[in-house]
Chains A and B, each alone.
Chain A
Amino acid sequence: MRYSYGVMDQKNILIYKPQLFQKTDDLLIFPTTDYRKWHSNITEYIDALFQLNAHNDSIDVDNLNLALGILFNIDLEMQSIFEVDKKMDHSYFYVSQVDEKYKKRETEGYGRYMYHIDRNVLKITPMLKHKHLMEIVDYAHRLWAKNDKSAFKVKKRV
């Protein structure tokens, strides 16, 4: 995502990397300290969710409610982004120290069912083609045999 820092200079803003933005773009501008604080608040909540996931092997209803509470807080934090009067607590900034391995996404069973998902594709040789043909012919023979019997029975009844 394109972003740049800048500094307030009289009524306008000096952009440090003006080459990123085009003439027709609309810009959104936040004060850096407030924005960093807002971002760190949300990362703190997200890390809490990852911890919750790591601590519990089996999730029960209480943990789900806790997670939903955290998510609700994130939603509140996001809704309050444009509230001018809201004052932020700058006494600390959260820096995420959660190990990357806890943030990894869980696999969706691909590892276990790998052999079922990627099946080997056979090369079709003339021999195989012939075999396949004969199988169809056999199947057709069986069907004909069935049909003959039923037809015979019907004829007898009449």
Chain B
Amino acid sequence: MRASQAVPFGAMAILYHPKLFSQHEEVIIYERDEFRRTFSSIRNCIQEIFLKNHQLNQQQNRRRLMGEWIWIMKQVHIINNDLEDFFTETPCQGYMDTYMHNLVESTEEGIMESLIFDDARALTLDLL
């Protein structure tokens, strides 16, 4: 999927990679840290299930399967909640973060200078 980072400037957002999007295309905008929080929470849940399965395989103990299945469904429930979080407007942890009043006025030129015009492929999962 095409994706780009951006910096807010008034009612506008200035893009890192404007060439990726076509003119008048509708886009969806997230705050990066909030997106990272839910995204990595989902991935962590999946990783935990894989690790648990690995443990089961190593112990050769298939009798514990029923108990583990309930645990797996619990993780799936968390994943489902996180997925719904992407399209709900209820506050999440991000709202509770402290707000520092910033007196420095941002100018469009200043933002443009600070942007990194790398290759569009530079955006990877490590950044999240």
Given contacts A18-B11, A27-B6, A53-B73, contact A75 B46 (CB under 8 A): yes
Q: Interface readout for B23-50 with A: 1 if CB under 8 Å, 0 if not?
A: 1111111111111001100110010011
Which of B26, B39, B42, B123 gathers the greatest number of chain A CB atoms within 10 Å? B26
- Interface of A: prevailing SS: mixed
Supplied contacts A15-B8, A18-B8, A31-B25, 14 more A-B pairs, CB within 8 Å:
A1-B34, A8-B24, A13-B6, A14-B11, A25-B8, A25-B31, A25-B33, A28-B6, A31-B28, A59-B66, A81-B39, A105-B73, A105-B77, A106-B70
| A13 and B27 form a contact (CB under 8 A) | yes
Report chain B residues within 8 Å CB of A86. Answer: 1
Q: Which residues of B contact A (CB under 8 A)?
A: 1-15, 18, 20-35, 38-39, 42-43, 46, 49-50, 53, 62, 65-66, 69-70, 72-74, 76-77, 79-80, 83, 85-90, 92, 94-95, 99-100, 102, 106, 120-121, 123-125
A1-39 CB mask vs B (1 if < 8 Å, else 0) is 111111111111111001011111111111111110011
Indicate whether A117 reaches chain B with its CB closer than 8 angstroms. Answer: no
Minimal beta-carbon separation of B5 from chain A (angstroms): 6
Known: A27-B30, A81-B1. A106 touches B73 (CB 8 A): yes
Whether the Cβ atoms of A28 and B26 lie closer than 8 Å is no
- Expressed in whole angstroms, the Cα–Cα distance for A30 and B123 within the complex equals 12
Tell me which residues from 61 to 105 in chain A have a Cβ below 8 Å from any Cβ of chain B.
Answer: 61, 64, 67-68, 71, 74-75, 78-84, 86, 88, 103, 105
| Nearest 7 CB-CB pairings of A with B | A26-B32, A27-B6, A13-B13, A18-B11, A59-B69, A32-B26, A11-B18
Interface-lining segment among A43-51, A123-131, A134-142: A43-51
Inter-chain contacts of B18 with A (CB < 8 A): 11-12
* Contact partners of A9 in chain B: CB under 8 A: 12, 24
CB <8 Å contact, A18 and B27: no
